[in-house]
């Protein structure tokens, strides 16, 4: 009985922990705020059709999201299918992103979906930018897609982040039920350009821009009394040196 109660308590704690992480994110206008990390994200649907350079030029004070920031975002939402035990504890990491294996199913089918599901919550915050093109198959009307590029503009290392819901993947017949969805962080090849690329293989995407909500406090000014003592000390030192020269 104690084991059952303990298992239930652990499950409840895990659920509350997941909810708390998603609860750190809120939407105001076109800005998603991550209160836990003092970070703001511009909604991805605000930069659709822009190259990385154009998006940065149009949004002063914002910077391109880094790989670490995106990994943290996806892990906070715990996008993996909660009913698939093989995905229990799955984490997006630098290793699986660079290796091209950071791709995971997000869960329930259309018939049992709920707006509170992690993938739908994510898309509601960052925007649905589906443009009618998502692979070679005709997609159902219910498909939703949040997608953005990010990375290191100085080194030219770029990635694509995507959360898709109710899409048909390659190998699934058009009359088959739609897949639940996929969350992925994948590297882009060296041909991707920060200057001119506004779509990837015809698929719309935004640019993941972030900015810090913390401000660096100004350096404290010395107290007047301290300044006076310091100045008096220098003056006294100067007088002593003059007397020594006279003698």
Spell out the residues 6+ positions from residue 74 whose beta carbon is closer than 8 angstroms to its own.
92, 161, 183, 185
Encoding tokens for residue 139? 């997609």
Instruction: Please classify residue 32 by burial: count the beta carbons closer than 10 Å to its beta carbon, then call 0-12 exposed, 13-18 middle and 19+ buried.
Output: buried
CA pair distance 217, 203, nearest whole angstrom: 43
- pTM, two decimal places: 0.74
42 — pLDDT class (breaks 50, 70, 90): very high
Q: What is the mean pLDDT of the chain?
A: 76
Mean pLDDT of 107-124: 71
- Domain locations along the chain: 2-212
In this predicted structure, what is the pLDDT of residue 8? 40
In angstroms, the CA 126 to CA 73 distance is 11
State yes or no: pLDDT of 63 exceeds 50. yes
Q: What band does 1 get if pLDDT is binned at 50, 70 and 90? A: very low
For the ranges 46-50, 102-106, 132-136, 212-216, the lowest mean pLDDT is seen at 132-136
**Residue with the two structure tokens 């920031």:** 69
3-state secondary structure of 171: coil
Q: What torsion do the CA atoms of 218, 223, 227, 228 make, to the nearest 10 degrees?
A: 160
pLDDT band at 233 (very low <50, low <70, confident <90, very high): low
How does pLDDT run across 155-164, given as a tens digit for each residue?
999 999 999 8
The pLDDT value recorded for residue 170 is 46
User: What would the mean pLDDT of 10-14 be, rounded to a whole number?
Assistant: 37
Give residue 229's pLDDT band: very low, low, confident or very high (50, 70, 90).
very low
How far is the C-alpha of 234 from the C-alpha of 90, rounded, in Å?
Answer: 64
Top-confidence residue, 222 or 204: 204
**Based on the number of CB atoms within 10 Å of its own CB, is 52 exposed (0-12), middle (13-18) or buried (19 or more)?**
buried
Backbone angles phi, psi at 207, to 5 degrees: -120, 125
């Amino acid at each position: 009985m104690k084991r059952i109660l303990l298992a239930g308590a652990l499950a409840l704690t895990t659920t509350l922990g997941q909810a708390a992480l998603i609860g750190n994110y809120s939407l105001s206008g076109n800005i998603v705020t991550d209160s836990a990390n003092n970070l703001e994200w511009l909604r991805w649907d605000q930069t659709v059709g822009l190259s990385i350079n154009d998006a940065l030029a149009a949004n002063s004070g914002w910077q391109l999201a880094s790989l670490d920031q995106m990994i943290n975002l996806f892990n906070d939402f715990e996008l993996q299918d909660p009913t698939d035990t093989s995905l229990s504890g799955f984490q997006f990491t630098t290793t699986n992103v660079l290796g091209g294996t950071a791709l995971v199913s997000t869960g329930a089918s259309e018939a049992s979906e709920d707006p509170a599901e992690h993938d739908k919550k994510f898309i509601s915050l960052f925007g649905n930018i589906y443009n009618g093109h998502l692979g070679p198959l005709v997609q159902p009307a219910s498909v939703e897609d949040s997608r953005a590029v990010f990375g290191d503009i100085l080194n030219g290392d770029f990635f694509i982040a995507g959360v898709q819901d109710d899409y048909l993947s390659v190998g699934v017949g058009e009359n088959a039920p739609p897949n639940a969805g996929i969350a992925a962080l994948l590297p882009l090849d060296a041909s991707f350009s920060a200057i001119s690329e506004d779509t990837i293989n015809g698929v719309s995407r935004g640019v993941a821009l972030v900015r810090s909500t913390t401000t660096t406090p100004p350096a404290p000014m010395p107290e007047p009394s301290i300044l006076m003592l310091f100045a008096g000390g220098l003056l006294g030192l100067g007088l002593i040196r003059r007397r020594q020269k006279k003698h």
